[in-house]
């Protein structure tokens, strides 16, 4: 089938680099004389027929902007058969031949179900700061989020040192500890708590006592939001405070600031490459695959594998972090 019109949408949580990938999709379509339709507010926009033709000038000035100019949303209606039927009817109405979906595992799950039901070619671009998809070493926005977290904790360290404080800093990542592990090493954290390593409260207490004995008067502990050492980071800090009554303990939850900001050079280049290749692979007849980066090269992974496969934490980095907290 000759591809004449491609629809593109962003779905789920936003991440820096989504706009960059969108820009690349639109411009690659224009280069190949293919019409490009921007779908606003993710899959809900498909249902509501919120669509607009995008040309090269439509995406000028967005390469350095965080977030997504198409907006993003999570659609409960798209999870229903009737919702997906509405979306399909709008795809037929607008004569869209294929879809590029920029998002994470939830977005890819919806895209895969839709593709299987209606045989609409779909290509996924991994846009999530969590870096939790199988088939790529870097998701779009992950590098930017790492730098945002590092800069924020560098500032927290200034006040921790000035007041002899112990800070627990919670970072995003859901059930994956990539952000916590890498940023923790980058800022010299005393301990890094991630779901994959399961340090536990006792080991954390031993590490902090050792640190105090060596004369450290301030410390940073980086905690991934998916870590289960405590019910949450506030409960964890209370348990530690019971063991160290003379320590002034503070908690900082970085929250949604991690999703924002101008994408780094790495994310801009990655988003551009992924956007170009997504369009080219659709033209070549590919479908139901995710564009990923493996060993520095672009690789295709079936959407089903990208969703169900587990992104692996770097165990060598865990070992390195243990050596560094002496």
Output the CA torsion 315→148→71→284 (10° steps).
Answer: -50
The candidate with the shortest Cα–Cα distance to 126, out of 13, 240, 253, is 13
Q: CA–CA separation, 127 vs 268, rounded Å?
A: 12
164 is catalytic: no
**Active site residue: 130, 132, 227, 267, which one?**
130
Residue count of the chain: 326
267 with 293: CB under 8 angstroms? no
The candidate with the shortest Cα–Cα distance to 52, out of 68, 64, 40, 69, is 40
Residues annotated as catalytic (active site), given as ranges? 130
């Amino acid at each position: 089938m000759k591809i004449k019109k491609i629809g593109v949408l962003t779905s789920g949580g936003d991440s820096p680099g989504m706009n960059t990938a969108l820009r690349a999709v639109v411009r690659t379509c224009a280069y190949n004389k293919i019409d490009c339709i921007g779908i606003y507010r993710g899959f809900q926009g498909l249902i509501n027929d919120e669509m607009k033709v995008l040309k090269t000038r439509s995406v000028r000035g967005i390469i350095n902007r965080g977030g997504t100019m198409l907006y993003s949303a999570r659609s409960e209606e798209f999870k229903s058969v009737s919702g997906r039927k509405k979306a399909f009817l709008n795809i037929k109405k607008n004569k869209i031949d294929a879809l590029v979906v920029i998002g994470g595992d939830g977005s890819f799950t919806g895209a895969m179900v839709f593709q299987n039901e209606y045989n609409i070619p779909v290509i996924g671009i991994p846009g999530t700061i969590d870096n939790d998809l199988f088939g790529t070493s870097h998701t779009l926005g992950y590098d930017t989020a790492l730098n945002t977290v590092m800069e924020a904790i560098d500032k927290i360290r200034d006040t921790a040192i000035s007041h002899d404080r112990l800070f627990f800093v919670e970072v995003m990542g859901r059930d994956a500890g990539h952000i916590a592990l890498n940023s923790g090493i980058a800022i010299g954290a005393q301990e890094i708590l991630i779901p994959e390593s399961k340090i536990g409260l006792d080991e954390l207490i031993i590490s902090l006592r050792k640190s105090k004995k060596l004369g450290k008067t301030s410390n940073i502990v980086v905690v991934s939001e998916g870590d289960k050492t405590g019910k949450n980071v506030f409960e964890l800090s209370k348990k530690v405070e019971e063991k160290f009554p003379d320590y002034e303990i503070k908690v900082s939850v970085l929250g949604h600031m991690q999703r924002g900001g101008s994408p780094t050079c790495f994310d801009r280049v990655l988003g551009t490459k992924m956007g170009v290749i997504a369009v080219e692979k659709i033209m070549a007849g590919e479908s139901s695959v995710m564009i990923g980066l493996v060993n520095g090269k672009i690789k295709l992974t079936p959407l089903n594998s990208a969703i169900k496969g587990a992104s692996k934490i770097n165990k060598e980095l865990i070992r390195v972090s243990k050596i560094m907290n002496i």
